[in-house]
Amino acid sequence: MAFTIVGTVLTAVAFFFTYREARAAKTAARAAQAAADQAKEAISERITIADLSSVRSSFAQIVMLLEAHKPELAIHEVRITRQRVNELRERPGFVGNVTEIEKLLADLANLQETIENKLWSDPALVLPLPEISKILASHADRLTSWAEKMRYN
C-alpha cells in the first residue's frame, strides 16, 4: 500500500513537471511561428520594394528607348513592365492603391497601343515624348512613395 501512495505521488509530481514543460514548449512554438511569420513578411516587403524600383527603372528605360527612336525595344519594355505591375497589384500592401494601380496599368496599355500604332499602322506617327515622360515620371514618383512607406512603416 505504501508503494501505491508513493507511486501515485511521484506520478502526480512527474505529470505536473511534464505539463509545465509541454506548456513552455507550446509557448516557444508560438513565439517561433510568430517570428517566422514576421521574417516572411519582412522579406516579402523587401522583394516588393525591389520590384517597385525595377518598375521605376523600366519607366526610364522606356523613355530612353523612345528618345533613341527604338520603339521596337520600347514596346517590349512596356509589355514586361505591365506584367510586373500586374503582379504587384496582387501583393499585400496595395489594397488601398487599387485605383492608382489600375490607372498605371491603363496608362501603360495606352502607351503600348500608341507605340504599336507607330510600328504597324502609322510609321510617320510622332510619339509625344514629353507627355509620355511626364506620365511615367508621375507614376515613378508614386511608386517611390509606396516604396518609402513600405520601408519605414
The string of pLDDT tens digits covering residues 109-121 is 999 999 999 999 9
What pLDDT score does 95 carry? Answer: 67
Give me the DSSP letters along 83-140: HHHHHHHTSTT-GGGHHHHHHHHHHHHHHHHHHHIIIII-TTPPP-HHHHHHHHHHHH
Task: Please say if the pLDDT value at position 75 is more than 90.
Answer: yes
What pLDDT score does 18 carry? Answer: 87
Q: Which residues does 44 contact at the CB level (< 8 Å), separation at least 6?
A: 91, 92
Joined together, the cell numbers standing for residue 40 give 516572411
CA angle 113, 115, 116 (to 5 degrees): 60
Give the C-alpha separation, 119 to 115, whole Å: 6
What pLDDT score does 131 carry? Answer: 95
Give the C-alpha separation, 107 to 109, whole Å: 5
Mean pLDDT in residue range 72-100: 87
What pLDDT score does 65 carry? Answer: 96
Joined together, the cell numbers standing for residue 44 give 516579402
Across all residues in the chain, what is the average pLDDT?
88
* pTM greater than the 0.85 cutoff: no
How many other C-beta atoms can be found within 10 angstroms of the C-beta atom of residue 108? Answer: 25
What pLDDT score does 3 carry? Answer: 64
**Residue 1 pLDDT grade (very low, low, confident, very high; cuts 50, 70, 90):** low
Buried b (16+ CB within 10 A) or exposed e, 76-89: ebbeebbebbeebe
> Worst-scoring range by mean pLDDT, 50-64, 66-80, 93-107, 134-148?
93-107
Task: Name the percent of the chain lying above pLDDT 70.
Answer: 97
In CATH terms, the fold of domain 46-152 is: Four Helix Bundle (Hemerythrin (Met), subunit A) (1.20.120)
**Domain residue ranges of the chain, discontinuous segments joined by +:** 46-152
74: closest CA among 87, 83, 65, 82?
Answer: 65
